[in-house]
Amino acid sequence: MTTEGSLRSTALRDGFWSAAPLLVGVVPFGLITGVAAAGSVIGAGLAWSTSFIIFAGAAQLATLDLFDAGAVSVVIIATGLIINSRHLMYSAALAPAFREFPASWRSLLPYILTDQAYAITITPYNDEPDPVYRRWFFLGGAASFWLTWQITTAVGAVFGAVIPGAWGFTFAIPLMFLALLIPTLRNRPALVAAIVGGGVAVLAASAPYRSGLIIGAVAGVVAGVAADRWWR
């Protein structure tokens, strides 16, 4: 094996092992998203296709929920894009580390950029000078999340139909979002954003076109920014 070949496989393996602890959390999330797809009004197959078309769990669950609620497509699209706008931040934060990659890598790797892939790459990237190592490390980590997501959501979509409704597994969806929410409450402005976002969404729950989530989210972001200014 050439030196470059062994560098690649080392980097792929390092990426995978950095991802491994977080994969444990991805599995139930994927299964639940798959179960939600199984019961979707748009059909299990089309609902599952969000796993590789959108490939972002929170946006997928919110999208499927809005389809079930009969929301208009403009609201569904706006909600999905607001939820996923955080990827702009990840892209900006990773851009310096990706700068030396070939153009094909720079256009394809972003497809598998996720919250988890960002989390495992942002720190080691600061210390790793070799761009070849860096891109194979990212591929090893991010592709593990992609593959795990495709498999677990498919398994959930196939077996979701046979889980008894009395077990209350629909409650696992808000619990999953709660599990994502808690780690974001790192400071007071973030807490303000969450309280206002959640509070307004509750008050706006019967707003027309199922726009309550958008209204709550925008109110929460505005409150968070105001609190950020206040405390800085």
Partner 1 sequence: MAVSPLLTILIIGAGTYLFRLSFIGILGDRTVPAWAVPPLRYVAPAVLAAIVAPAVLLSDGSIDVSPASNPEFLAAVLAGVVTWRLKNVIWALVVGMIALWILQWLS
**Max Cα-Cα span within the chain:** 63
For the CB of residue 44, give the shortest distance to partner 1 in the complex, in Å.
12
Residue 208 per-residue DSSP state: G
For the CB of residue 79, give the shortest distance to partner 1 in the complex, in Å.
9
In whole angstroms, what is the distance from residue 127 CA to residue 111 CA?
24
Who's near 144: CB < 8 A, 6+ residues apart?
Answer: 15, 16, 19, 20, 23
Nearer to partner 1, 158 or 195 (CB): 195
For the CB of residue 157, give the shortest distance to partner 1 in the complex, in Å.
15
For the CB of residue 3, give the shortest distance to partner 1 in the complex, in Å.
27
Output the CA–CA distances (angstroms, integers) from residue 133 to 96, 116, 121, 130, 202, in the order listed. 15, 19, 12, 5, 47
Nearer to partner 1, 10 or 207 (CB): 207
Burial class (CB in 10 A: 0-12, 13-18, 19+), 182: exposed
For the CB of residue 16, give the shortest distance to partner 1 in the complex, in Å.
20
Nearer to partner 1, 7 or 194 (CB): 194
In whole angstroms, what is the distance from residue 157 CA to residue 40 CA?
10
Nearer to partner 1, 20 or 202 (CB): 202
Nearer to partner 1, 12 or 78 (CB): 78
For the CB of residue 41, give the shortest distance to partner 1 in the complex, in Å.
9
In whole angstroms, what is the distance from residue 154 CA to residue 166 CA?
22
Nearer to partner 1, 10 or 204 (CB): 204
Q: Are 138 and 109 in contact (CB under 8 A)?
A: yes
Nearer to partner 1, 11 or 213 (CB): 213
In whole angstroms, what is the distance from residue 32 CA to residue 177 CA?
11
For the CB of residue 170, give the shortest distance to partner 1 in the complex, in Å.
9
Buried b (16+ CB within 10 A) or exposed e, 93-102: ebeebbeebe
